Structure 1
Amino acid sequence: MAIDQDMEACENKLQGKITEPLLQNGANGTSKSTKEDLWMVYFSTFVAVCGAFEFGSCIGFSSPTQAAITEDLDLSIAEYALFGSILTFGAMIGAITSGVIADSIGRKGAMRVSDAFCVAGWLAIYFAKGPVSLDIGRLSMGYGMGVFSYVVPVFISEIAPKNLRGGLTTANQLLICSGVSLSFIIGTVLSWRTLALTGLIPCFILLLGLFFIPESPRWLEKRGRHEEFVAALQKLRGKDADISKEAAEIKEYIETLENLPKAKMVDLFQRRYLRSLIIAVGLMLFQQLGGITGVSFYVSEVFVTAGFPAAVGTVSYACLQIIITILCAILMDKAGRRFLLLVSAAGLVIGCILVGTSFYLKVQESAPTVAPLLAVIGMMVYIGSFSAGMGVTPWVIMSEIFPINVKGTAGSLSTLVNWIGAWAVSYAFNFLMSWSSYGTFFIFAAINVIAILFVAKLVPETKGRTLEQIQAAINTA
């Protein structure tokens, strides 16, 4: 009880006294830096989001290549299902270890480690002669992807000024979608081995760019490397910028954090955090159990099964995903998180029903001209709806509903749950489709109906609220 009281006291002190340090950069959020002075922030973000693009490339590889790999290497459905899903298993391991790596060797060091695993994975796949090499390569890529999923948004949030943070952080999700979409598109014209080689391009750009950008100032100060901290912050804000106020705020913020009791996983199950935990874990589960990982990994085969040209369907799917993700980023702070989630989940239900109906008509050999059209409309509704809310919003809400002292632990648990759900869906998807193509999508529709009820009942609106207001809304609901 005494520990709990100490933690709550420190937590209240932190919330009431200090705001996010790297976000408080003068009245306009830029430490009197001009946009021209912030070129290093933009360049550093570009380098970091190469990791996000690589993340997307890893996800998108399995969809356009399924038929070719299965034929060339004579793989069974079970062998290809393992190949597709083992990526998420590697990502689980990467996500679990990412925080330790990033805190031990820095954000740049963590990105280098992740980059090395992805390069090794792509090469193993390129030279693969059988399922073992394929799986080892895919597992290695998954590990790198799991580390990228943590360190890239953390690095961007720690270098960005307040007035740029939202847009620059959104670039992470946009580049993930772009990586997935580009893999879908070029995978329709390239062989699977050549497509594996293209996955090396963002790795090399990232590796080269890391030599020219500074380390996260916040991490440097946390490690006691004060001179390097000042130099990095000055480089990011511009050589003529006055960084004294921001530097002092960062130092005070880190000192206060260091005085907080170290949160453990069991602390999340205390009454004052339990509702936040249910919301975060619930959103992560519904995001994955609604079918997105299975659809993304095997979208080409979904179109083939429905009798629609895979190349046309996949390219349309990829382009729509990017467009809707951009629109979602614009609407996030205008329409609100809760509204986007409800609209998104409703759209997912409609999309699943349309695709399921298409498969049912095909099985019954009814309306042969209508079934493929229903499939492609349903898939477009599905991916558009997912990109409009369920794709990004759960991560945003997760970052907002926990107090700062447990945010890292809560984020690790929520991310792990997300990857477990991704693995389960990606592994089971092909087996479910073999069992019943239309039944699979009707199951996904039912899960998304439950998601609507979950959001309507438990998820608060966090748009425009302070951390204290969000906590009050959650604890009094």
Structure 2
Amino acid sequence: MREAKEDSSSGEDGNKELRKPFLHNGSWYKMLGSRQSSIVGSSIQVVRDSSVSILFCVLIVALGPIQFGFTCGYSSPTQESIISDLKLSLSEFSLFGSLSNVGAMVGAIVSGQMSEYIGRKGSLMIAAIPNIIGWLAISFAKDSSFLFMGRLLEGFGVGIISYVVILMSLSSWIGQSGTVDQLSITIGIMLAYLLGLFVNWRALAVLGSLPCIVLIPGLFFIPESPRWLAKMGMTEEFETSLQVLRGFDTDISVEVHEIKRSVASTGKTFTIRFADLKMKRYWYPLMVGIGLLVLQQLSGTNGVLFYSSTIFANAGISSSNAATVGLGAIQVIATGLTTWLVDKSGRRLLLIISSSVMTISLLIVSVAFYLEGFTSVDSHLYSISGIVSVVGLVTMVIGYSLGVGPIPWLIMSEILPVNIKGLAGSIATLTNWLTSWMITMTANLLLTWNSAGTFAIYTVVAAFTVAFSAIWVPETKGRTLEEIQFSFR
């Protein structure tokens, strides 16, 4: 019996060895945790008091979403030059634009289990490597094969990044971590638009690899996710990490107790299977998370962002690339406003307002393009229709940035129970990327076929999002992750 127990214990130790951080925690924040009276100690105290450590963690991890955004924005300013240089058809370029979503689907499949087994930091490092290789493949592409391969590799990394970053507790503003993620994405999109004005598509691809090149060494200097460390039984590392993320002068004892209790309760359950998702406490939050992420994509915003220069050109705007940069800047400002509003007005209310604004603006764009089809290019009404469609598109992007863009990811991270985050998170993220691929693959072709009809379809989806948010989405404002998950039982 004793030998059997020893064998069993040895087996458990072996399993624990398999599930450990891919990257060891940096040691600088452990030094910050101790009070010293030397000159070095006084410098450390400044860091403690000013919460520089929190800001540093946010900035490093934000490089992942910036890379995500750069990938989304890259196809807009480069469409004409890539088609011209590599002799591609419109359908081939549409395939190129959408292939990042195909790669992201593969990344989404592995992202949940990968983040559970090797940690959030290790997953981000793995995601950074194919991103860098993908950008270089695009930069040196001589034909469509290297172009498509590079886009697939980018997408694979982005698929992992999109899920892992939202899991990480980046700061003491826990409720805003999802919107900070979305803000970083919009900054990446704007950078792609802006830099696309000054450099060719090959140089722009090289610049696209920089966020991940900086991210890799930066990951060695930030702590791992506290909840993941607690789940792995690394108590000392868990408490140190949480102290850094909440501030060194913050009493974390209550939160430590809550997280330990949550981990202990979920640790008693067996591995979740697909059949277990039929239970209400699992299928309801999963349905809400998947529903929001699918509607986010079906609203057509990614199609607008991927091919905004072409849309502005079709609307009669002469400086379509410059207008695209303005659109990106407005999106950054609107998303920045959301990071401030999300914990003041609530997630559900912002979703309803956001989707309502999108519905009205998309309807206006659809009508403007419809009227444009019945007027001559030289007429005054044609010019007015072009201006109205641009204003409608800008308003639509503002509405998207106020809620439909950032909040679905935030809500998904809050409502999914801890013990199904790996499986359910992968399913939801995979569904999101599959829908995104459908939109980005067809948007360019649909807009060429009938711009008014395309935006009419997007209008119907935005209207349904209003109803879905009002009826099924729960309010998570002011509630801890553990309280939200307990309410579904």
Q: Could you tell me which amino acid in structure 2 is paired with residue 216 of structure 1?
A: S
* Cα distance in 2, alignment partners of residues 37 and 222 from structure 1: 30
How far off its partner does 1:435 sit?
1.8
Give SS of 1:65's match. Answer: helix
Between 401-410 and 374-383, report the one with greater CA deviation: 401-410
Counterpart selection for 1:119 from 132, 145, 158: 132
Alignment correspondent of 1:328: 338
Tell whether the 8 Å contact from 1:124 to 1:136 is kept in structure 2 after alignment. yes
Alignment correspondent of 2:352: 342
Aligned alpha-carbon RMSD (Å): 3.0
Q: Could you tell me which amino acid in structure 2 is paired with residue 399 of structure 1?
A: S
Map 1:395-474 to 2 at 5 A.
Answer: 395-465=409-479
2:185 is equivalent to residue 197 of structure 1: no
Tell whether the 8 Å contact from 2:178 to 2:409 is kept in structure 1 after alignment. no
How far off its partner does 1:39 sit?
2.8
TM-score by length of 2: 0.82
Alignment correspondent of 2:295: 286
Counterpart selection for 1:185 from 194, 202, 207: 194
How far off its partner does 1:456 sit?
2.8
Tell whether the 8 Å contact from 2:112 to 2:421 is kept in structure 1 after alignment. no
How far off its partner does 1:433 sit?
1.4
Query: Relative to structure 1, is the Cα distance of residues 76 and 166 closer, same or farther in structure 2, using a 3 angstrom cutoff?
Result: same
Tell whether the 8 Å contact from 2:309 to 2:324 is kept in structure 1 after alignment. yes
Give SS of 1:262's match. Answer: coil
Query: Relative to structure 1, is the Cα distance of residues 370 and 152 closer, same or farther in structure 2, using a 3 angstrom cutoff?
Result: same
How far off its partner does 1:260 sit?
2.1
Alignment correspondent of 1:7: none
How far off its partner does 1:439 sit?
0.9
2:145 is equivalent to residue 135 of structure 1: no
Tell whether the 8 Å contact from 1:125 to 1:137 is kept in structure 2 after alignment. yes
Percent identity of the aligned residues? 42
Between 77-86 and 207-216, report the one with greater CA deviation: 207-216
Q: Could you tell me which amino acid in structure 2 is paired with residue 318 of structure 1?
A: G
Query: Relative to structure 1, is the Cα distance of residues 226 and 79 closer, same or farther in structure 2, using a 3 angstrom cutoff?
Result: same
Tell whether the 8 Å contact from 1:31 to 1:241 is kept in structure 2 after alignment. no
1:419-466 Cα shifts (integer Å, max 9, x gaps): 111011011112211221111111111221222222233333333456
Query: Relative to structure 1, is the Cα distance of residues 240 and 294 closer, same or farther in structure 2, using a 3 angstrom cutoff?
Result: closer
Give SS of 1:295's match. Answer: helix
Give SS of 1:210's match. Answer: helix
* Cα distance in 2, alignment partners of residues 467 and 357 from structure 1: 43
Counterpart selection for 1:301 from 293, 304, 310: 310
Counterpart selection for 2:108 from 92, 95, 112: 95
Alignment correspondent of 1:13: none
How far off its partner does 1:273 sit?
3.8
Tell whether the 8 Å contact from 1:57 to 1:180 is kept in structure 2 after alignment. yes
TM-score by length of 1: 0.84
Give SS of 1:215's match. Answer: coil
Map 1:211-290 to 2 at 5 A.
Answer: 211-225=220-234, 229=238, 250-290=259-299
Between 224-233 and 80-89, report the one with greater CA deviation: 224-233
1:237-272 Cα shifts (integer Å, max 9, x gaps): 778888777666655543333212322233222344
Q: Could you tell me which amino acid in structure 2 is paired with residue 170 of structure 1?
A: T
Counterpart selection for 1:73 from 81, 86, 105: 86
Give SS of 1:369's match. Answer: helix
Tell whether the 8 Å contact from 2:166 to 2:410 is kept in structure 1 after alignment. no
Tell whether the 8 Å contact from 1:354 to 1:377 is kept in structure 2 after alignment. no
Tell whether the 8 Å contact from 1:460 to 1:474 is kept in structure 2 after alignment. no
Alignment correspondent of 1:104: 117
Give SS of 2:224's match. Answer: coil
* Cα distance in 2, alignment partners of residues 342 and 276 from structure 1: 18
* Cα distance in 1, alignment partners of residues 186 and 304 from structure 2: 14
Give SS of 1:279's match. Answer: helix
How far off its partner does 1:275 sit?
3.5
Tell whether the 8 Å contact from 1:94 to 1:142 is kept in structure 2 after alignment. yes
* Cα distance in 1, alignment partners of residues 238 and 461 from structure 2: 48
Unpaired runs of 5+ residues, structure 1, are 1-29
Give SS of 1:354's match. Answer: helix
Q: Could you tell me which amino acid in structure 1 is paired with residue 401 of structure 2?
A: S
* Cα distance in 2, alignment partners of residues 264 and 138 from structure 1: 33
1:58-95 Cα shifts (integer Å, max 9, x gaps): 11111111111111111111111110001011111111
* Cα distance in 2, alignment partners of residues 96 and 373 from structure 1: 42
* Cα distance in 2, alignment partners of residues 225 and 469 from structure 1: 23
2:73 is equivalent to residue 63 of structure 1: no
How far off its partner does 1:170 sit?
3.1
2:101 is equivalent to residue 83 of structure 1: no
How far off its partner does 1:474 sit?
7.5
Alignment correspondent of 2:390: 376
How far off its partner does 1:377 sit?
0.3
Give SS of 1:36's match. Answer: helix
* Cα distance in 2, alignment partners of residues 226 and 415 from structure 1: 30
Q: Could you tell me which amino acid in structure 2 is paired with residue 316 of structure 1?
A: G
How far off its partner does 1:224 sit?
4.7
* Cα distance in 2, alignment partners of residues 443 and 154 from structure 1: 33
Alignment correspondent of 1:22: none
* Cα distance in 2, alignment partners of residues 227 and 459 from structure 1: 37
Alignment correspondent of 2:14: none
Between 231-240 and 340-349, report the one with greater CA deviation: 231-240
How far off its partner does 1:172 sit?
1.6
Count, aligned residues: 442
Tell whether the 8 Å contact from 2:316 to 2:383 is kept in structure 1 after alignment. no
* Cα distance in 1, alignment partners of residues 62 and 434 from structure 2: 24
Tell whether the 8 Å contact from 1:336 to 1:462 is kept in structure 2 after alignment. yes
Map 1:10-89 to 2 at 5 A.
Answer: 35-36=48-49, 38-89=51-102
1:371-421 Cα shifts (integer Å, max 9, x gaps): 220121011111001001111122222233344333443322221211111
